[in-house]
Structure 1
């Protein structure tokens, strides 16, 4: 979401800077051939830029690169005709960072910076070192800031996908494996029961595939598309309890609560060897709470945190809950079961 708004802000900034430069040109210069040519080029640049934004998905990567080259070419000609249009360099540099590799972005940044420096010098009545140093500094800071934002966005997306894979695909595949193993054990003695296990595994595979398609598109959990949160929690197969009067929750809050419940219930079944799992959803005055308790073997929380490869599910739960402003606590000890409690303010 942050990247979408950043893209929109840069597009809006480009058009505002383009309009500001055009108005400066009209106010400060006579309507001669150079001015008319610059305004015509500015109009063409605006149309090409807007067309690329509107047709972004249809263009594909090759088409976007060609579009970027045309935009930069129109802008360079425009800066030659009217140096004040150099102000558009920053949103154009952002486009380069979006579409080009770091090496090619540095080349494009050098071209943009030289164009800005030449424009600054032509607009000034005398040479000043700041006319050279300032554009270089702005370009350097812009590249670093945007590149770090890009890396942060990539890491955030990787974290989101890893959580979704852990909470949906991994658990779904584990469930299917257990069902197929059960079918194999009774295949000779009870074919009907074996076929029942296989049918259940097929249904689970279909649900898993649907979940995978949804999280790739950054959509909410599939069960919440057709059910309320209490109904989706009931379908987990654990003992479900509802406390308080149900009231509407944000989609993100519902998704977090369901994913936490799915993860906790899956852990209880796969690792804790629990005979009883209780899921409690409570609607309170200023918060909604989710508690998942199992009577399984429990675990040493210190070992789960310090041993490599352990405790990822709990970390993912905490991250999910924190993203919606809540907290998650876990209480467990060897032989004493496990309790997972999420608290989210509303």
Structure 2
């Protein structure tokens, strides 16, 4: 989402700088034959740029590269005729960083920076070092900022996928393994029971496959596609009681709370050896809460056992994305309580 906003800001910035450059040209030189030609060329550049933005997806990668080359060539001609339009270099630089490989980006950055330096020298009454140093500094900062944003985006996506894999594929595979082990134990003594376990494992495999497809497409949990959060929680709990009315929550909040519930239940099943787990969803004034308590073996929070670390960290990360918090209370031999809070 941050990258989408950045791209939109750069597109808007290009058009604003294009209009500002045309305004400066008209204010300084008035409307004459030469300025009219330059403004007309600027209008063509703006139209060409707008066409590329509007048809970004249909153009494909090769089409976008051809569009970028056309935009840059037209801009270079315009800057040669009217140096005021050199201001548009910064958003064009971002488009180059977005589309080109690192070697081509360096070439494009050099061309853009040199063009801006020449334009600044032509605009000024006399030469001073800032006309050279300032464009180089801006180009260097732009490259560093963009590449840092790209690196952060890659790390963010990697973290998202790791959370989804942990909360869907890993838990689903664990359930399938338990069901298949049960089927293997019952294979000789009770074939019908073994087949029942196999059918449950097959159903779990199908659900897991659908979840994998959805998180690759960055969609919400499949369970929430047609049902509300209380309905889904009802389906994963053996006993369910409802008091009061259901409060409408946005899709992202429901998805986060469902993943937290699934993670807490998976921990209780795999590590706690609990005989009873209580899940409570509460709509309070200004916030929604989800509490999961089990009567299992508990653990030492100062030194959590294997499997305890990542799941809880993933829950905290999910909740932090929607402004929520997670509190975990556990003592060895006294069970574990997981409390999630999200402001409304």
Counterparts in 2 of 1:298-313, with a 5 A limit?
A: 298-304=298-304, 310-313=308-311
1:99 — aligned with what? 99
| Structure 1 residue 155 corresponds to structure 2 residue 155 | yes
Distance 1:231 1:241, change over 3 A: same
1:243–1:283 CA contact under 8 A, matched in 2? no
1:42–1:78 CA contact under 8 A, matched in 2? yes
For 2:149 and 2:123, how far apart are their aligned partners in 1? 33
State the secondary structure of the residue aligned to 1:138.
Answer: helix
Counterparts in 2 of 1:1-346, with a 5 A limit?
A: 1-29=1-29, 34-242=34-242, 244-304=244-304, 310-346=308-344
Q: CA deviation at 1:7?
A: 0.9
For 2:140 and 2:258, how far apart are their aligned partners in 1? 44
1:11–1:91 CA contact under 8 A, matched in 2? yes
For 2:109 and 2:51, how far apart are their aligned partners in 1? 23
For 1:137 and 1:331, how far apart are their aligned partners in 2? 52
CA deviation map 1:94-117 (0-9, x unaligned): 112212334432332221111101
1:282–1:288 CA contact under 8 A, matched in 2? yes
For 2:230 and 2:314, how far apart are their aligned partners in 1? 22
Which segments of 5 or more consecutive residues in structure 2 lack a partner in the other structure? none
Distance 1:41 1:205, change over 3 A: farther
For 2:188 and 2:54, how far apart are their aligned partners in 1? 61
State the secondary structure of the residue aligned to 1:304.
Answer: coil
TM-score by length of 1: 0.92
CA deviation map 1:319-339 (0-9, x unaligned): 111222221111122222211
Which segments of 5 or more consecutive residues in structure 1 lack a partner in the other structure? none
Supply the RMSD in Å over aligned alpha carbons.
Answer: 2.1
282-291 vs 202-211, greater mean Cα deviation = 202-211
Distance 1:146 1:242, change over 3 A: farther
TM-score by length of 2: 0.92
For 2:297 and 2:240, how far apart are their aligned partners in 1? 21
Query: How many residues end up aligned between the 2 structures?
Result: 344
Distance 1:304 1:241, change over 3 A: farther
State the secondary structure of the residue aligned to 1:210.
Answer: helix
Q: CA deviation at 1:291?
A: 0.6
